[in-house]
Amino acid sequence: MASAIRTRGLQRHFSGVKAVDGVDLEVETGAIVGLIGPNGAGKTTLLRSLLGLTRYRGEADVLGSDPLRQRAQLMRQVCFIADTAVLPRWMRVDQLLDYVAGVHPQFDRAHAEALLEGTDVELSRYVGNLSKGMTVQLHLAIVMAIDARLLVLDEPTLGLDILFRKRFFEQILSDYHHSERSIIISTHQVEEVEDILTHVVFMDRGKVLLQQSMADIGQQYLELHATADDVPRAEGIPHLGQRAIAGGKAFIYQGIQPDVLAPLGELHTPSVADLFVALVTGAGGDD
């Protein structure tokens, strides 16, 4: 399958800090990628580099364009929602839609208005009088009404309640995504997006720790829930990480056959969050 994004040796340093440290990244067309990492991992800097919003070293190809040299061309095919929706507060909603229609040739105003019909965002209201949730809804309606090939979301639902976050991602999946569009979601609410992801990228301290499809994670990693006397036996098998559970411990393994682990307890596919913690903290887990 063709690549929507490809980088080789991507670097971005700030005063000696390696925010992005030699990242090789590949995102397939049609993929929904979860970009996972702690604060300061380099996620936002990586996204800004891919969008041509900050300078970098190395190679980057996004939708066939060089983000730095061909940014205007790239922006016709990309939509971006940052952790804080920045919209002109002095405009009415209808004026904002007029403006976007005038500057973006691929914006469908009728589609944006249809998306807003199911919300509390009225066309006659000023953007500055909207709540944070309504501002995000307006931003999302604008983005989803643009026929773009890549949607980049950097903590788009930060500070919003869980019901709105759930509707937000459901709407993106049902009304926006298809096989020719790719989505990158950087978020701390991993559990809320795990079910819609096709791939994950783990970052820590500017480096990519893991880049894999969700299907491959299910095939390569196992989580064992061991109790009582089975815990020491499970600890004796090389594992990526462990954590406490009721009555025992959970261990995450890579490349261990299920029949080796099955006698020691219940087997599961590890969650994205638990796998990330195991790879970052190592076999010591929470101990």
- Tens-place pLDDT, residues 208-265: 999 999 999 989 999 999 999 999 999 999 999 999 999 999 999 999 999 999 999 9
Looking at the structure, tell me whether residues 226 and 195 fall in a common domain: no
Looking at the structure, tell me whether residues 120 and 245 fall in a common domain: no
Considering the domain boundaries, does residue 269 fall inside one? yes
Q: Which two tokens stand for residue 147?
A: 């026929």
- Tens-place pLDDT, residues 135-174: 888 988 898 899 889 999 988 777 677 877 887 788 888 7
Q: Distance between alpha carbon 274 and the CA centroid of its chain, in Å? A: 16
List Cβ neighbours of 20 (8 Å cut-off, separation of 6 or more): 10, 11, 12, 42, 45, 46, 49, 56, 206
Domain end call among 212, 231, 256: 212
Give me the residue label for tokens 């406490």: 244
Considering the domain boundaries, does residue 93 fall inside one? yes
| Dihedral of alpha carbons 160, 100, 152, 21, sign | negative
d(CA 153, CA 54): 17
- Tens-place pLDDT, residues 3-38: 999 999 999 998 888 999 999 999 999 999 999 998
Looking at the structure, tell me whether residues 208 and 222 fall in a common domain: no
Give me the residue label for tokens 């991993």: 190
Looking at the structure, tell me whether residues 129 and 247 fall in a common domain: no
Looking at the structure, tell me whether residues 143 and 261 fall in a common domain: no
pLDDT at 113 over 80: yes
Task: Give me the mean pLDDT over the 186-213 stretch.
Answer: 91
Looking at the structure, tell me whether residues 221 and 193 fall in a common domain: no
- Tens-place pLDDT, residues 57-109: 999 999 999 999 999 899 889 988 877 667 899 999 999 999 999 988 889 99
Alpha-helix runs per DSSP H in the chain: 43-50, 71-75, 93-103, 109-116, 132-144, 162-175, 190-193, 214-220, 230-235, 258-261, 272-281
Considering the domain boundaries, does residue 245 fall inside one? yes
Q: What pLDDT score does 283 carry?
A: 52
Q: What pLDDT score does 191 carry?
A: 85
Considering the domain boundaries, does residue 286 fall inside one? no
Q: What pLDDT score does 262 carry?
A: 96
Domain end call among 158, 191, 212: 212
Phi and psi, residue 13, nearest 5°: -115, 145
Q: What pLDDT score does 178 carry?
A: 78
Q: What pLDDT score does 287 carry?
A: 44
Considering the domain boundaries, does residue 287 fall inside one? no
Looking at the structure, tell me whether residues 197 and 229 fall in a common domain: no
Q: Which two tokens stand for residue 136?
A: 């995000």
SS3 assignment, position 129: helix
What is the span of the domain harbouring residue 196?
3-212
Considering the domain boundaries, does residue 194 fall inside one? yes
> What is the number of domains present in the chain?
2
